[in-house]
Amino acid sequence: MILRDFHLHTTYCDGKSTPLEVVLSAIEKGVKTLGITTHCYTPFHIYGNLSPSSVYEFANEINALKARFKDKIDIYCGIEEDYFGQTDLSKFDYVIGDVHYLSNGVDYYSVDHGQIDIRECVEKVFGGDAYKALEKYFEQMVAVVKRTNADIVGHFDVITKNNNGGAIFNEGDPRYVSAWKNAVDEILKFKPNIYFEVNTGGISRGYKNIPYPSKEIADYIKSKGGKLLLTSDSHHKDTLCYEFEKWAKEYEI
């Protein structure tokens, strides 16, 4: 398989390897195309986000690497723009649009940081109704894709990260299923050639044993003519293209 990876993080945000280390590792692994990404700028500070000035420093460094290694690998500079992001997107070759937070307009709760954040958010913002939170999450997913004209939909069901064994909600519940189906339909109506990533980052970091999104969601996306793209969401140079062959087969990508 031709290796390419469009979602990873470096020391500019919460990754452990520098952009140069990531590029050298990619060349060694035989990766042909590498999209180096960063978390975005949000006006509130929660782990891993960048300041406006560090966003520009990041883009400048990636563009320098692009020129330096152009004979060995194709490098692109990407941004993982959150629903609440306020990044200047003009500096980037492509956009991954996704959702990391829910909010009541005052407090911001991470949907992928821990069960405590989500439980508190469900209680304080959604009156204890987890399905209302899920509906809002998918509404935001559609909205960020439309606002940014994203090229890739990021970790579409990352809100399941801390839901192993149905700890917070039932993934078979009709309200959950219709929320994600509506979001897929709306996104594909807006941009039929968009990619939905099949993101193995939750596996490499030990949170999940399947990618985002689930096979059921991925099959629905395909049945509606949507395209899938394997990404690693690596936070370390050694997990680039993590388990791509395995999940390419399982998800028939």
The count of residues interacting with Zn ion (CB under 5 A) is: 2
Q: For the chain, give me the number of helices (H) and strands (E)?
A: 8, 9
d(CA 102, CA 4): 31
At 234, is the secondary structure helix, strand, or coil?
strand
At 106, is the secondary structure helix, strand, or coil?
coil
Residue 81 touching Zn ion (CB under 5 A): no
DSSP 16-68: SS-HHHHHHHHHHHT-SEEEEEEE---SS--TT---HHHHHHHHHHHHHHHHH
Query: Least distance in Å: CB of 197 to Zn ion?
Result: 9
Please list every residue from 61 through 80 that binds Zn ion, using CB under 5 A: 80
- Smaller CB separation from Zn ion, 80 or 81: 80
Query: Least distance in Å: CB of 106 to Zn ion?
Result: 23
Q: How many CA atoms lie within 13 A of 208 on its CB side?
A: 21
Beta-bridged to residue 39, according to DSSP, are: 80
Query: Least distance in Å: CB of 112 to Zn ion?
Result: 7
At 12, is the secondary structure helix, strand, or coil?
coil
Residues in the chain: 253
- Smaller CB separation from Zn ion, 212 or 220: 212
Lay out the site mask for Zn ion across 6-35 (x = CB under 5 A, - = otherwise): ------------------------------
- Smaller CB separation from Zn ion, 80 or 117: 80
- Smaller CB separation from Zn ion, 39 or 66: 39
- Smaller CB separation from Zn ion, 113 or 175: 113
Query: Least distance in Å: CB of 240 to Zn ion?
Result: 13
Query: Least distance in Å: CB of 17 to Zn ion?
Result: 14
Residue 116: is it exposed, middle or buried by C-beta count within 10 angstroms (0-12/13-18/19+)? exposed
Residue 233 touching Zn ion (CB under 5 A): yes
- Smaller CB separation from Zn ion, 151 or 233: 233
Query: Least distance in Å: CB of 88 to Zn ion?
Result: 19
Residue numbers of the site for Zn ion (CB under 5 A)? 80, 233
